[in-house]
Amino acid sequence: MSFDLVEIRDLKVAFDGTQVLHGINLSVDRGEALGLVGESGCGKSVTWLAALGLLPGKAAISGSVRIEGNELCSAPRQALERVRGGRIAMIFQDPSSSLNPVIRIGRQITEALTLHRGIGGETARAEALRLLDMVGIPDARRRFDLFPHEFSGGQCQRLMIAMALAGQPDLLIADEPTTALDATIQAQILDLLNQLRAETGMATVFISHDLGAVSQVCERVCVMYAGRIVEQGSITQLFSRPRHPYTRGLFDAIPRLDGPRTRLVPIPGTVPNPKQLTAGCAFSPRCAHSVASCDFQRPELDVMEDGRRLACFNPVLADEPTPALQTVMEDA
Amino acid sequence: MVRFVISRLLRALVTIVAVVTFAFVVLRMSGDPAQVMLGPDVPQEAVDAFRTSWGLDQPLWIQYLAYIKSIFTGDFGVSMRDKESALQLVLERVPATLQLTIPALLLKLFIGIPAGVYAALHRQSAVDRSVILLAILGFTIPSFVMGLLLVLIFSVTLGVLPSGGQDTWVHGLLPTITMSIGGIGILARFSRSAMIEVMGQPYIRTASAKGVTWSNVVWNHALPNAAVPIITIVGFMVGSLIAGAVIVESIFSWPGIGRLLVVSVSNRDLAVVQCILLMIAATMVLSNLMVDLLYGWLDPRLRRQTVH
Amino acid sequence: MVTPLIEAKGLTRVYEMRRGLFGKAIPVRAVDDLSIKVLPGETLGVVGESGSGKSTLGRMLLGIDPAQAGAVTFEGHPMPAFGTAEWRALRARMQLVYQDPLAALDRRLTIATQIREPLDIHNLLTKSQRDGRVQALMAAVGLRPDQADRYPHELSGGQRQRAVIARALASHPSLIVCDEPVSALDVSIQAQVVNMLRDLQDEFQIGMVFISHDLKVVRNVADRVAVMYLGRIVEEALSDVIFASPRHPYTQALVSSVPVPGQPLKGRMILQGEPPNPADRPSGCAFHPRCPLATDICRTSVPALRTIGVGRSAACHLVEGATAPIAA
């Protein structure tokens, strides 16, 4: 029997008794690019931090995370440490503060090489230089012994990517990797991520609140809301025909750079407090589509006829117009 | 680099001159050494003669200039009481003080920092809570209370340790412990909060995410960063190696600089007091300079930082 | 001709930067000989990357940051010096809203107290009228009456930014400078606040300078847009025009770099090189090291901001003059 590269089953996370992740089921195939989309607090980052055991000790985690069939959730720390960076690498939102300020960047990269590939000394240095070259750090030989603060934000993210590549991982988790960067640099990093995936064949999970950035990198996407996946499908499916009212709302809320300048269509209300979730669909208080049952019953994430997964009792119809003229109670 | 050290040394000099001036003025205003030295029943001629011989009949500013001049020629004056060189008197006492303060400093470092770091890594645990509690007790109880308390327990009640004197190393135990407890508390608290701060930083998560083992995350990634704020406190402690023992030496009748200072102040033995203050200021300033240089070594950002 | 609400001519801001503890101070031009004007009720969008000087410009327009050269006139009168009584009185007419509402609000005071503050400071309205004005302002920005007695930490990010905007509106300003006002907000909330800003502006005819790195938001809010690069304006045009047919290569790259949902990365113009460093300004056109079209003249001569069409200008040696068709 062949396994998916990573398979997450019923992953739940609670902080101090407040549940923030409510049973995530998700699998990542070899070499694929998966997007995880949602607003702050939806649990998109927590999912992967929990999977790799990187959450603080007070987090209560249950469920199963398997990499090629091997369970990570109950694995001893040594096993987890081999997977981190070796099988699954991760890069983060704020590259400048994600690198250790007092360690030379060359050493930060060779450290990963020693850990996962057992090489040191001159061999490691040569390999690190090759990686720096690969991620587009100019003049790497001369800058090998510099400290992180001597690099710009965009270059720091390239350094983070080089460090992630050091362990030759099968999966790269990129957690909002371009959010803190300027527009033109953002485009460079997205381009680099695409190019590296093509060259190395490693799978990518791209976590972002930016639907635009996700569609430039990913093939498949999961939309999350309040600790659950609400819609999941291919980029083309979701972006041409969003079915969940939340997915549709996200699209409508983004201002456009082309076409007529119309009034924006916000999603009314705010994200619910995780301490005060009701038995119903978490989105129903903000949902223009909600029906009576939404308030006390929760829709399951079911497979639709076109192959996508959707958790909604009253999904958006295929060609429903944008509710531009609808008066909504805006209450941020 | 050279420019940096020179500018810091110049600043240090200004600090020292300020301390000396302050001490000079305060001491002259606070009482007449002639009266104190000679006692109340001495005839006026004797008092006048004493004043003339020590130059106390001159206007204050002339005395001050003469004093500053002599300091720069390495002459720290003569004790009014023992007629010996003040510098000589002070230097003789230095070893005794260091016998207390250096072991105390080591205790502070080797107990305070590990306790704080351990507590930070095991937050909310029983150990963490005990460390916080003991640390607060340690630095809130004044050393004279702590000293008397320890004497009461170990000398009076249990009778296992001597309560004063300098005969053997055992005599040094109680004063050393008394002196170190406050510092242990301060260092534990400081190391704990510094370490908690660092462990919450994104680069620690990065280190874990790339598979670095837990102990290496702590040793190689966290501690070098936490060292920066801790060094500040340690620098202050090093700076008070000379002066930090005034109270404790008095309690345990330990013949160090602190004792000498107390005695000399009450005798208005100006040369000795000024010499001690000068030494205290110099060690403080020197340790500050060392801390600044250490900062640069520990934190590369401070080496080439962009400052307005 | 209408008197501009605010007009800046030849604004220059230079500050000194020191490299390391031992280094020499070098002058950094954050804003360089920049001229700009905003008409009453108009919204000027200012876009640019970090280091472009857009935030410094915003503060200079309000007189908070001093200018080494150049002058600002507000409603036809020269801007009084920072800190003077005249300047403080004028602050009632011009307000600043910036990115982090939590930092802008006092956490010990209720929302209503803080919205009322400008009225108290500038002694506007009678005391009894002020309560009514606060209620009206809260309604205008979409805050519920029961939120009046809340403290900042009891509100969400979007609600806090609404409170900050209500406070900025309290003294009937004719100009608001918004520096990244919605950048910290989630997409769905961002749309709420953007709509609100547009409505308020229509209702009260407020002139606005809207500074942001987010081209999509700027396009939606601004009537006219200025693109900044290393302290200078490189292109300026009507909002609809500039994003539909950018002329300056930098604007073209910026527009191209905006990820559009549903569109793959292919075919986009990806600019090489790092964002500009004001302390290390290239010779000639500051953009030339990153410009795919740069020629010899770009390396040596600084292009002036020239009119290249009706209401549009660009600072580029390679952009054709006014005779060229506007649509690219």
Q: Tokens 């302050």 label which residue?
A: B22
- Would you call B306 and C18 a contact, using CB atoms and an 8 Å cutoff? yes
C162 neighbourhood in chain A, CB within 8 Å:
332
Which tens digits make up the pLDDT trace of B200-214?
Answer: 999 999 999 999 999
Using the Cβ of B300 and the Cβ atoms of chain C, whether some distance falls under 8 Å is answered with no
- CATH architecture label of A6-218: 3-Layer(aba) Sandwich (3.40)
Shortest distance, CA A262 to any CA of chain C (angstroms): 8
Listed residue (A35, A214, A212) closest to C259, CA to CA? A212
Residue B253 near residue B174 (C-beta atoms within 8 A): no
Q: Name beta bridge partners: A175.
A: A207
| Predicted confidence (pLDDT) at residue C1 exceeds the cutoff of 90 | no
More confident residue, B54 or A69: A69
Question: Helices in chain A by DSSP H: which ranges?
Answer: 44-51, 77-83, 95-98, 105-117, 121-134, 140-143, 153-166, 183-200, 211-217, 235-240, 245-253
What is the 8-class DSSP label of residue A74?
T
Q: Chain A partners of B213 at a C-beta cutoff of 8 Å?
A: 78, 81
Confidence check: pLDDT of C324 > 50:
no
- Cβ(C98)–Cβ(C180) under 8 Å? yes
d(CA B260, CA B87) in angstroms, rounded, equals: 12
| Cα-to-chain-centroid distance, residue A299 | 24
Q: Which residue of A has its CA nearest to B203?
A: A98
Q: How far apart are the first and last CA of chain A?
A: 50
Q: Which residues contact C131 (CB under 8 A, 6 or more apart)?
A: C116
Question: Of the spans A74-78, B31-35, B193-197, which averages the highest pLDDT?
Answer: B193-197
> What value does the CA radius of gyration of chain B take, rounded to a whole number of Å?
24
Find chains touching chain A: ≥3 CB pairs under 8 Å.
B, C
Q: Which of residues 147-186 of B touch C (CB under 8 A)?
A: none
- Higher-confidence residue: C164 or C326? C164
Using 50, 70 and 90 to split pLDDT, how confident is the model at C266? low
Report which DSSP code applies to B163.
S
Q: Which of C21, C22, C28, C65 to mutate to test the interface with B (most CBs of B within 10 A)?
A: C21
Q: Which one of A187, A264, A270 has the shortest CB-CB distance to C257?
A: A187
Contact predicate B55/B66, CB 8 Å: yes
Task: Tell me the C-alpha to C-alpha distance, in Å, between residue B114 and each of B189, B204, C43.
Answer: 11, 19, 59
Q: Cβ of C21 and B308 within 8 Å?
A: no
- pLDDT tier at B192 (50, 70, 90 boundaries)? very high
Which subunits count as partners of chain C given 3+ CB pairs below 8 Å? A, B
Identify the H or E element spanning A327. none
* DSSP H or E run through B139: helix B126-140
C48: left (phi over 0), alpha (psi -120 to 50) or beta: left
Give the pLDDT confidence score for residue B285 in this predicted structure. Answer: 86
Interface test with B, best of A107, A115, A149, A160 (most B CBs within 10 A): A149
CA nearest to C15 within chain B: B308
Query: Which amino acid does the sequence have at A154?
Result: G
How far apart CA A105 and CA A281 sit, in angstroms, is 47
Look at residue A2 in the predicted model and tell me its pLDDT. 66
Beta strands (DSSP E) in B57-211 are none
Between chains, do B306 and C16 touch, taking CB under 8 Å as contact? no
Specify which residues A71 forms β-bridges with.
A66
* Residue C261 · residue A215 · CB < 8 Å: yes
Residues from A in contact with B at Cβ < 8 Å:
52, 54, 77-78, 81-86, 89-90, 92, 94, 97-103, 111-112, 115-116, 147, 149-150, 160, 163-164, 166-167
- DSSP category for residue B78: B
* CA neighbor of C33 nearest in space, from C222, C225, C228, C178: C228
CATH code assigned to C6-41+50-80+222-314: 3.40.50.300
Q: Residue C69 in contact with residue C243, Cβ under 8 Å? A: no
Tell me the angle at which helices B126-140 and B169-199 cross, rounded to the nearest 10 degrees.
120
Q: Is residue C85 classed exposed, middle or buried when 0-12, 13-18 and 19+ CB atoms within 10 A define those classes? A: exposed
> Mutating which of C22, C24, C277 best tests the B interface, going by the most B Cβ atoms within 10 A?
C22
Give me B202's structure tokens. 């994104």
**Domain ranges across chain A:** 6-218, 242-310
Using a CB-CB distance cutoff of 8 angstroms, which residues of chain C are in contact with residue B306? 17-19
Question: Would you tell me which residues 1-60 of chain A have a C-beta closer than 8 angstroms to some C-beta of chain C?
Answer: 39-40
Shortest Cα distance from A243 to chain C (angstroms)? 15
The answer, for C27 touching chain B at a CB cutoff of 8 Å, is no
Is residue B55 within 8 Å of residue B298, measured between CB atoms? no
- Planar angle of CA C181, C182, C183, nearest 5 degrees: 105
Residue B185 binned pLDDT confidence (cut-offs 50, 70, 90): very high
Mean pLDDT of C263-275: 76
Tell me which residues of chain A, numbers 220 to 279, contact chain C at a CB-CB cutoff of 8 Å: 235-236, 239-240, 249-251, 253-258, 261, 263-268, 270-271
Res C264 pLDDT > 80: no
Higher pLDDT, A108 or B86: A108
Mean of per-residue pLDDT scores for chain C: 87
Residues C322, C236: Cα–Cα separation, whole Å? 14
d(CA A300, CA A295): 14
**C15, C16, C20: residue with CB nearest B305:** C20
DSSP state of A149: G
pLDDT for the residue C123 = 85
Residue with tokens 């690190």: A128
Q: Phi first, then psi: what are they for B158, rounded to 5°?
A: -85, -30
Predicted local confidence at residue A32, as pLDDT: 95
Buried residues in B133-165 as b, exposed as e (16+ CB within 10 A): eebeebbebebeebbeebbeebbeeeeebbbee
- Token look-up 């010990």 returns C108
From chain C, the residues in CB contact with B299 under 8 A are none
Flag whether pLDDT at B52 surpasses 90.
no
Confidence bin at B303 (pLDDT 50/70/90): low
Chain-chain contact of B210 with A166 (C-beta, under 8 angstroms): yes
Q: Which residues of chain C does A261 touch, with a Cβ-Cβ cutoff of 8 Å?
A: 219-220, 239-240
Q: Domain spans of chain B?
A: 98-268
User: Considering only residues 175 to 204 of chain B, which have any Cβ-Cβ distance to chain A shorter than 8 Å?
Assistant: 201-203
Find out whether C185 and C105 touch, Cβ atoms under 8 Å.
no
Domain range B98-268, its CATH number among 3.30.497.10, 1.10.3720.10, 2.60.120.560, 1.20.120.160: 1.10.3720.10
Instruction: Point out the residue among B206, B212, B220 whose CB comes nearest to the CB of A99.
Output: B206
Give me the pLDDT at residue A322, please: 61
Low-confidence ranges of chain A (pLDDT < 50): 324-332
Q: How confident is the model over A262-278, as pLDDT tens digits?
A: 888 889 888 888 888 88
Q: Are A175 and A90 a contacting pair, CB within 8 Å?
A: yes
Chain C contact set for A258 (CB, 8 A): 243-244
* Interface residue C19 vs chain B (CB under 8 A): yes
Q: Give the span between the Cα atoms of A60 and A50, in whole angstroms.
A: 9
What is the DSSP pairing of strand A18-28 with strand B306-307? unpaired
Residue B105 confidence (pLDDT) above 60: yes
Identify which of A84, A100, A150 has the shortest CB distance to residue B209.
Answer: A84
Minimal Cα–Cα distance from A103 to chain B, Å?
A: 8
Average pLDDT on C236-247 reads 93
Interchain CB distance below 8 Å, B221 and A81: no
B305–C21 C-beta distance less than 8 A: yes
Model pLDDT for residues C246-263, shown as the tens digit of each residue: 999 999 999 988 888 777
pTM of the predicted structure, to 2 decimals: 0.87
Bridge partners of B96, per DSSP, are none
Percentage of residues of chain B with pLDDT beyond 70 = 96
Give residue B165's pLDDT band: very low, low, confident or very high (50, 70, 90). confident
A64-73 long-range contacts, Cβ below 8 Å, gap at least 24? A64/A7, A64/A8, A64/A9, A64/A10, A64/A11, A65/A6, A65/A7, A65/A8, A65/A9, A65/A11, A66/A3, A66/A6, A66/A7, A66/A8, A66/A9, A67/A5, A67/A6, A67/A170, A68/A3, A68/A5, A69/A3
Closest Cβ–Cβ partner in A190, A250, A266 for C195: A266
Give residue C145's pLDDT band: very low, low, confident or very high (50, 70, 90): confident
CA–CA gap between residue B252 and residue B166 (Å, rounded): 9
At residue B306, does pLDDT exceed 60?
no
Question: Burial level of B230, CB count in 10 A (0-12/13-18/19+)?
Answer: buried
Asked whether C139 and C200 are in contact (CB, 8 A), the reply is: no
The answer to whether C127 contacts chain B (CB < 8 Å) is no
Average pLDDT over residues B41-48: 82
> Are the Cβ atoms of B208 and A84 closer than 8 angstroms?
yes
Q: What is the mean pLDDT of residues C8-19?
A: 84
Residue in B4, B306, B308 closest to C22 by CB? B4
Coil, strand, or helix at residue C171? coil
Please report the residues numbered 68 through 97 in chain B whose beta carbons come closer than 8 angstroms to any beta carbon of chain C: none
Q: Which chain A residues are within 8 Å of B307, Cβ to Cβ?
A: none
- B303/C18 touch (CB, cutoff 8 Å), yes or no: no
Element (H, E) at B189: helix B169-199
Q: Which helix (H) or strand (E) holds B221?
A: none
Q: Using CA atoms, how far apart are residues C264 and A33, in angstroms rounded to an integer?
A: 13
pLDDT band per the 50, 70, 90 thresholds, residue C265: low
* CA of C51 vs chain B CAs: smallest distance (Å): 15
Q: Determine the residue among A100, A104, A113, A114 to mutate to test chain B binding: the one whose Cβ has the most chain B Cβ atoms within 10 Å.
A: A100
B216: tokens are 């290496």
Assess B208–A contact: CB distance below 8 Å, yes or no. Answer: yes
B62 contacts: CB under 8 Å, gap ≥ 6: none
Query: Is the CB of residue B206 less than 8 Å away from at least one CB of chain A?
Result: yes
